[in-house]
Amino acid sequence: MLKQAFILTAGNIISRFLGLIYVFPFAWLVGQEGQALFSYAYVPYIIFIDLATLGVPLGVSKFISIYNAQNDYQTSYKIFKKSTIMMLIIGFSMFLIMFLLSKPIAYQVLGGKTKLINEVEDVTLVIRVISTALIVVPSIALLRGFFQGFKMARPTAMSQIIEQLTRVLFIIITSFFIVRILKLEYTVAIYFAVSSATIAAVSAYILLRVHLHKFYKRLNHLLKRSNPPVEKPTVHLFKELFKYALPIAMFGLVTSLYLFIDTMTFNKGYLLRGGENSEIIFGTYAFEINKLIMIPVSLGMGLGVSMLIYISESYTKKYYKSINKQINKALQTCTYLIVPIIVLMMIFQQAVYSLFYQAGNTYGPNVLLSYAPIAILLCFNHITSAVMQGINQQRILLISMTLGVSLKYLYNETLITSLGYNGAILATTIGLMTTIIVNLVTMVYKIRYNHFFIVRRLLVIFGINIILGIIFYFVNFNIIQITINYYSRMYCFLFLSINALIYLILYLLISYLTGLLDVLADKEFNLRDMILGLRNKYVTNYF
């Protein structure tokens, strides 16, 4: 499970890293106003992707894993072929709906105004341009779900990387050419930037079709030794598929709704607050900082996707002890790897922001400080929701997610009016915590999940990082009192690299001495044996 999760996570992280690369030159070229305009199109686009895919990709993944476990490969392949046609029809329909709703959405995101910094016509156009990608994206998602159902993570990871690489290169090249060479307005660069979604989607689709063609030889072998297919009409198979898919669709949709609610209410909340520069703050919050935070969150997403397949299989075979072990392994691994990143982001928020973006933005470091802890909640939300799907508690998951997003919607505008961007972050925290708690309570009740066991482990991990974080903060800013030139990216990079390396060494050493590494790896680590093993492997063989 962890091997597949890390392949998916590696693809996700590389993809997001590539996505982060374009952010820097793109931000320098178009400014916060351009980033806000880009987000106005991109966030609704994500919502429409969730509606277009209907959860079918992961639903197909779960459907295939269940029937493959019964050695019924013919039924697995049958539902995949039928879903291919359906996804093309749905994708085209969603493209038309988003295209037609572009103007009402544009008015809403600008707080009911025809112009703040960006004009309603510009917002309308970028939404229409990005909507064309919806024709292709559902088919891509279905192919990824098919491969994941067969426990093949590599095609998904590679397609994500190729898709993002194509998108990044197109955005950087066209933006530079339009703004620097042709000296045109940043709005023209945004029009081309959002069109990259369609171009990148086509490249990913071609790659996945190539992988599918290569897989046919193995697939034909599996189909020949398959058990006789279940005697069910296609309608009944689709009914079963949507039984798995719709809760997954709601999960993806509800997760995207958090940022969509911010997009639709952020400017309005700031107008009621009487604040200025709402679009600049929103560009920083929804585009710049969100990109940074989603890098560690990729681990939780990868673990969640991988867990769904394995827990579905274990639950079908009634291996409840195995499910408990998989849940604990995922939560521990996720927390152990993500919390240090969050702590370093919070301690050195000014240096982190200045490294990736432009120093001097008064909002960026403060937003990063407030937003960073959300990463662990997003990861726990992905993992616990995947468990709920795997143990067939889709109805309760739907209730927990709806409750969480409803609280976000209920409090968001009021909290933004009172607290600014911190209000949006607080509303997100309330919503995510509600969903996670309901999921955990359900897991305890349905599969006798031993939550006391994992709580002790997580408290140790949090405790180690809090102590290290306090020490690093006081050493850097109170004892040594380092003066940092935030306008030098090289200085910020060296400063962060040195601190991160020392933090990593101390973190691993403390984990080794406390036995935490033994627990995470399910085996005893002996430092002397490890050193001797490395010497025997490399030094002895060399001589």
Among 209-218, 324-333, 447-456, name the most confident range. Answer: 209-218
What's the pLDDT at 306?
63
Is the predicted pLDDT of residue 200 greater than 80, yes or no? yes
In tens, the pLDDT along 267-280 reads 888 888 877 778 88
Q: Average model confidence (pLDDT) for the chain? A: 82
Is the predicted pLDDT of residue 542 greater than 50, yes or no? no
Using the Cα atoms of residue 355, residue 356, residue 359 and residue 364 in order, give the sign of their dihedral.
negative
Is the predicted pLDDT of residue 61 greater than 80, yes or no? no
**What are the structural domain ranges in the chain?**
13-230, 275-543
pLDDT tier at 8 (50, 70, 90 boundaries)?
Answer: low
pLDDT tier at 538 (50, 70, 90 boundaries)?
Answer: very low
Q: Which residues pair with residue 119 across a beta bridge?
A: 115
Q: Which residues pair with residue 115 across a beta bridge?
A: 119
Give the DSSP per-residue string, 138-164.
HHHHHHHHHHHHTT--HHHHHHHHHHH
In tens, the pLDDT along 487-515 reads 888 888 999 999 999 999 999 999 888 88
What are the helix (H) ranges across 185-224? 186-224
Using the Cα atoms of residue 313, residue 315, residue 320 and residue 325 in order, give the sign of their dihedral.
positive
What's the pLDDT at 252?
65
**CB-CB neighbours of 437 under 10 Å:** 14
What's the pLDDT at 525?
62
187's CB contacts (< 8 A; 6+ apart) are 34, 37, 118, 122
Among 17-31, 36-50, 418-432, name the most confident range. Answer: 418-432
Tell me if 129 sits within 8 A of 44, measured CB to CB: no
HSE (side-chain half, CA atoms, 13 Å) at 257: 21
Secondary structure of 56-83 in HEC code, one letter for each residue: HHHHHHHHHHHHHHCCCHHHHHHHHHHH
> Which candidate, 45, 36, 44, places its Cα nearest to that of 261?
44
Q: Give the alpha-carbon dihedral of 493, 499, 501, 506, to 10 degrees.
A: -170
Q: What percent of the chain has pLDDT over 90?
A: 24
List b or e across 175-203, with b for residues whose CB sees 16 or more CB atoms inside 10 angstroms: bbebbeeeeeebbbbbbbbbbbbbbbbeb
384's CB contacts (< 8 A; 6+ apart) are 435, 436, 439, 440, 443
Tell me if 160 sits within 8 A of 143, measured CB to CB: no
- What's the CA angle centered on 359, arms 356 and 365, to 5 degrees? 75
Calpha distance 110→323 (Å, rounded): 46
Q: What is the CA radius of gyration of the chain?
A: 24
Question: Encoding tokens for residue 507?
Answer: 């973190």
Is the predicted pLDDT of residue 539 greater than 50, yes or no? no
Grouping H, G, I as helix, E, B as strand and the rest as coil, residue 119 is strand
* pTM of the shown model: 0.74
Is the predicted pLDDT of residue 531 greater than 60, yes or no? no
Calpha distance 532→228 (Å, rounded): 54
Using the Cα atoms of residue 358, residue 363, residue 366 and residue 368 in order, give the sign of their dihedral.
negative
Burial of 267 (0-12, 13-18, 19+ CB in 10 A): buried
Query: Could you tell me if residue 126 is left (phi over 0), alpha (psi between -120 and 50 degrees) or otherwise beta?
Result: alpha
List b or e across 477-493, with b for residues whose CB sees 16 or more CB atoms inside 10 angstroms: eeeeeeebebeebeebe
What's the pLDDT at 96?
94
Q: At what angle do helices 186-224 and 154-176 cross, to 10 degrees?
A: 160
What's the pLDDT at 198?
92
> Which candidate, 486, 507, 508, 504, places its Cα nearest to that of 495?
486
Flag the least confident range among 2-6, 191-195, 227-231, 345-349: 2-6
